[in-house]
A and B are shown apart, each in its own frame.
Chain A
Amino acid sequence: MIEVEALTKRYGSTTAVDGLTFTAPPGTVTGFLGPNGAGKSTTMRVVVGLERPTSGTATIHGRRYADLPAPLHAVGVMLDARSVHPGRTAYKHLLAMAQTHGISKARVREVIAQTGLEPAAHRRAGTFSLGMGQRLGIAGALLGDPATLILDEPVNGLDPDGVLWVRRLVRDLAAEGRTVLLSSHLMHELALCADRVVIIGRGRLLADAPVKEIVERSERAGTVRVRTPDPEPLTRELVASGAQVTPQEGGVLHVRGASVDDVGTAARRCGATVLELGTESGSLEEAYLQLTGDAVEYRAADARGGAR
């Protein structure tokens, strides 16, 4: 269980995190979503005690991270693939981590096998690809068999195999009753593996809801694509229910203001045959961009002003 309450972190005049409150409950994967620079990593660094909050609190199982008696057993942390000395081999890096908590070499070899690092275990971390670095980071997070995992952009740089592996891993970890907080700047990534999503922009909370709800919200806001040999009756039916319909080529209609369910039901009502029905891909991403868009633009304007 991770609880962040009214957390604010300022660096000089820059506010990285601004009154953020959210909870990551056990047994779920909580997605932590926001554009680059939204304050995700800063929040995670505050949660694990690397940075001190300007105000507010962050606790794990009701305790400040610094007060945990055995942090590696309580929380598995992967903040950045570059949290390793490039001159040290993967095995020695994990061994040194394990030694701080008296964890055996056998367990080190176990997580190396679990993360598919065996072929690279005795190579220096500086020679690793981004994907291998991510696997090493995840291996370190799993080392203490912790009840809580905090993973910052774990799928970044992973090959498709690795992405699938991480999705399954975090689902399994949550199914075992663990708390998983997983950040990403990709909405569709979280839609595939998270139960809840906490969305932030410019350090502020934008949304905190079950993935399903956000998906539905974005589908309602997005465009539904339907292909039918009977465009006229379906268009009439949909317009009557308040949707906007734009005819496309080949009997395709783009419908806004109605969900996939709405369109399917409307087609049955008017007897139109449906050959194809779905959301236009990217609508989920669009919903996310709508939420975070203002935040990103503001930041870009800041950057232009700052560049002088």
Chain B
Amino acid sequence: MSAATATPHGARATTARPGPAFGRVVAAEGTKLLSLRSPWWAAAVTVVVAGVITYLSAEASSVDPGFEPLDSLSTGLALAHLGPLVLGVLVGAGEFRTGASRTTFTLVPRRWPVLAAQVLVTAAFALGTAVLATAASVLGILPSAASRGITVDLTSDDTPGLVLGMVLFLVALALFGLALGALLRRTVPALVTGLLVVVILPVVLTTAGDPLVSGADPASTGLAGPPTTVLGTLAVLSPGGAAQLMTTSASAGPMSGTPDLGPVGGGLVFAAWVLVVLVAAAVRLRARDVR
């Protein structure tokens, strides 16, 4: 009742007790991610879709005379990569959508350590998912390869690079989803934006940027290789276009009308996109109110 009894607690508040050090925030974010069902669902769907689509695609191609099983290795990811994107969006936007952000940011008022911890935790979870999804893709091409009597050698030529690219591709998509979710703070707008820039935009730009579509003379595209177009260039520089390059072989060469960035170049461009959106999310996190 009276202020006279206030001494013990008033005094104790000033003595140092451990605060939200970064390692602790990472542990907390890990607990939060693993204690929800949705990340596990996203991971399971990613792995299953990667395996099944790759299997179906390889089966379909196996009737071609020049069938090369490894060419089908990353086909499942064309669809399966949406899993990590959704996973990231759920982690990034889930806090704000549910109001859990009020709890989170009263515990860590500096806020940005939470985003950094989410990046680490999501990357780790996505890495596990990506390794399994890539393994499922490898399993997916084995039956068709066996039916044609071809042995699959993952150590040949650019295959190790391709496998690494596939894993990093899925991890990067999860981080891109996380960044979009954290920036937009709502699940549906973040998902729609993600689908637009990752799936739809590159298709539109690549199609419109094809020299044959944009009215170039087919004869002039002969010997010197296909010329690059502005739209084609934009297509590979778009988040989705750049990311897709990570799942191609270094020796595959560019799509018609696009510059040849290669898987490493594509990966770097996509990493830049992830970084840009993450920085925007971090700026918004620091500057704006949490409701």
Contact = CB atoms under 8 A, between A and B. Distances in A.
A50 B105 CA distance: 7
B4 interface: yes
A111 to B, nearest CB: 14
A305 to B, nearest CB: 24
A157 interface: no
A72 B25 CA distance: 13
Interface string B27-39: 1110110011110
Given A28-B3, A50-B102, A51-B290, A87 B109 contact: no
B100 A84 contact: yes
A83 B100 contact: yes
Contacts of A37: none
Nearest to A46: B289
Contacts, number: 149
A88 to B, nearest CB: 5
A70 B28 contact: no
A74 B36 contact: no
A148 B14 CA distance: 12
- Number of contact residues on B: which range applies? 35 or more
Nearest to A91: B35
A243 to B, nearest CB: 34
B3 to A, nearest CB: 5
A15 B28 CA distance: 36
Given A27-B6, A77-B106, A195-B1, A92 B18 contact: no
Contact of B98 (A65, A82, A99, A101): A82
Interface stretch (A158-166, A170-178, A294-302): A170-178
Contacts of A96: 28-29, 31-32, 35
A49 B101 CA distance: 12
Given A85-B32, A101-B19, A140 B290 contact: no
A26 interface: yes
A71 B24 contact: no
B4 A27 contact: yes
Contacts of A86: 98
B289 A1 contact: no
Interface of B: 1-10, 12-14, 16-21, 24-25, 27-29, 31-32, 35-38, 94-95, 98-100, 102-103, 105-110, 289-291
Interface of A: 1, 25-28, 45, 48-52, 61, 65-66, 68-75, 77, 79-80, 82-89, 92-93, 95-97, 99-102, 140, 146-148, 174-179, 195
